[in-house]
């Protein structure tokens, strides 16, 4: 099974059907590329993407 990504915040979700970061249930398996944010507060990339919580995020959502 392909992992789902949250359409709202792009978090990649490996378990369940609701995003643990933003609470959205709008998930999609149509995403490509991913980035791991280990320190959201200090990461420049996280700031650019608007990510505030550590996790694995899809770079592109295609749906």
Enumerate binding residues for Zn ion (CB under 5 A).
Answer: 6, 8-9, 11, 19, 21-22, 24
Q: Which of 51, 29, 1 is nearest to 12 (CA)?
A: 29
Give the strand pairing for 4-6 and 12-13. Answer: antiparallel
Q: Smallest distance from the beta carbon of 52 to Zn ion, in angstroms?
A: 11
Closer CB to Zn ion, 17 or 42, in the complex: 17
The CA distance from 42 to 63, in Å, is 30
Closer CB to Zn ion, 8 or 43, in the complex: 8
Q: Smallest distance from the beta carbon of 32 to Zn ion, in angstroms?
A: 17
């Amino acid at each position: 099974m392909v992992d789902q990504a949250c359409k709202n915040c792009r978090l990649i979700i490996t378990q369940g059907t609701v995003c643990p970061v933003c609470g959205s249930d709008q998930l999609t398996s149509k995403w490509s590329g991913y980035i791991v944010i280990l320190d959201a507060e200090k990461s420049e990339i996280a700031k650019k993407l608007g990510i505030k919580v550590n996790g694995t995020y899809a770079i592109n959502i295609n749906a």
